[in-house]
């Protein structure tokens, strides 16, 4: 009889590791250490266990058990609503909110990562059945890595050019170039804007990027991430320092004004470039014939 326990162990291990490695903490501080870690590692282990059970059950002709596995997999849909709910709840405590589109993106990502753990442990299982444990581990890791890089979406730097520019002040209005973005009524605030305010111009490379950058959720996500990365001079009661992102409707470039804590132009440019493009804000007019023709 075939040895199932080793097969199960290696598949579970690989699926779990695949999930764990994706839980790296980055500047977004999400998931928050350590409780979310426990939640996601546990769910990842369960997903990996489900994936590791498929082949043994098939070999034993336990078809009813397989239907139970599909029911169990349904549970991962709750991960998405769990993440969405908790993020939406803390949204009120953010000076610059993430925005609904960003939250939706994060929630979707966390659901998808469980399936990734499931798929990699299933592949390890499959390869183990046809070969041995080290080829199985290798193959499983390759699949996990492949899926992980496939799930990595583009960043703002991939679809647009970023320039750090001076903000322009005309009487009481501030903006970038010809685009007026905010009217500031206080002399003191205007002075601070002119001394410390920094403008960022995100110039889309093509029509797809233009449509993507115009999305309000995408703009909010850029503001949120930028404010975390560069720090921002803002507080309750100081609304006149709120960062803004507005389009130049003539050429579709996105203009951002804000007052950073770290006015380091090189890093501001890099920070904007590595902000993710949200899945839900991506538009592809160039994929359609009409869109392509109109773009000429």
- What's the min distance (Å) between Cβ of 170 and another protein? 10
Nearest CB to another protein, comparing residues 103 and 184: 184
Nearest CB to another protein, comparing residues 12 and 179: 179
Q: Record the tokens describing residue 24, joined without a space.
A: 């790296």
Nearest CB to another protein, comparing residues 34 and 185: 185
- What's the min distance (Å) between Cβ of 192 and another protein? 13
> Which residues of this chain interact with another protein, rule CB under 8 A?
171-172, 183-189, 236-237, 239-240, 242
DSSP letters along the chain, please? ---HHHHHHHHHHHHHHHHHHTT---TT--SPTTHHHHHHHHHHHHHHHHHHHHHHHHHTT-HHHHHHHHHHHHTTHHHHHHHHHHHHHHGGG-SS---HHHHHHHHHHHHHHHHHHHHHHHHHHHHHHHS-HHHHHHHHHHHHHHHHHHH---BHHHHEEEEEE--EEETTEEEETTEEEEE---HHHHHHHHHH-EEEEEEESSHHHHHHHT-HHHHHHHHHHHHHHH-B---TT-GGG--EEEE-TTT--EEEEE-BSS--HHHHHHHHHTSBPPGGG---GGGSHHHHHHH-
- What's the min distance (Å) between Cβ of 43 and another protein? 36
The span from the CA of 192 to the CA of 124, in Å, is 59
Nearest CB to another protein, comparing residues 34 and 237: 237
Omega cis (within 30) before 34 = yes
- What's the min distance (Å) between Cβ of 55 and another protein? 53
Cross-strand partners of 153: none
Nearest CB to another protein, comparing residues 6 and 186: 186
Nearest CB to another protein, comparing residues 180 and 228: 180
- What's the min distance (Å) between Cβ of 169 and another protein? 12
- What's the min distance (Å) between Cβ of 95 and another protein? 13
- What's the min distance (Å) between Cβ of 175 and another protein? 14
Q: Record the tokens describing residue 110, joined without a space.
A: 């966390």
Nearest CB to another protein, comparing residues 138 and 192: 192
């Amino acid at each position: 009889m075939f040895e199932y326990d080793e097969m199960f162990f290696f598949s579970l291990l690989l699926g779990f590791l695949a999930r764990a490695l994706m839980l790296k903490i980055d500047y977004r501080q999400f998931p928050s250490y350590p409780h979310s870690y426990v939640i996601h590692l546990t769910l990842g282990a369960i997903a990996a266990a489900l994936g590791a059970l498929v082949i043994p059950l098939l070999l034993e002709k336990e078809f009813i058990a397989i239907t139970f596995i599909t029911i169990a997999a349904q549970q991962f849909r709750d991960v998405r609503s769990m993440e969405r709910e908790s993020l939406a709840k803390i949204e009120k405590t953010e000076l610059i909110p993430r925005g609904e589109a960003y939250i939706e993106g994060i929630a979707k990502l966390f659901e998808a990562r469980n399936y990734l753990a499931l798929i990699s442990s299933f592949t390890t299982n499959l390869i183990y059945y046809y070969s041995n444990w080290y080829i199985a581990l290798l193959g499983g890791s390759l699949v996990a890595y492949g899926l992980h890089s496939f799930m990595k979406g583009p960043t703002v730097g991939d679809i647009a050019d970023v320039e750090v520019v001076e903000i322009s002040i005309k009487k009481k209005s501030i903006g970038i170039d010809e685009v007026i973005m905010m009217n500031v009524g206080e002399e003191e605030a205007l002075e601070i804007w002119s001394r410390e305010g920094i403008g960022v111009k995100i110039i889309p490379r093509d029509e797809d990027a233009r449509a993507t950058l115009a999305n309000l959720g995408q703009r909010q996500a850029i503001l949120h991430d930028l404010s975390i990365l560069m720090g921002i001079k803002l507080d309750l009661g100081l609304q006149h320092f709120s960062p803004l992102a507005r389009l130049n409707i003539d050429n579709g470039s996105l203009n951002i004004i804000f007052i950073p804590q770290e006015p380091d132009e090189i890093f501001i440019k890099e920070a904007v470039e590595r902000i993710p493009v949200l899945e839900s804000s991506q538009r592809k007019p160039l994929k359609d014939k009409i869109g392509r023709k109109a773009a000429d």
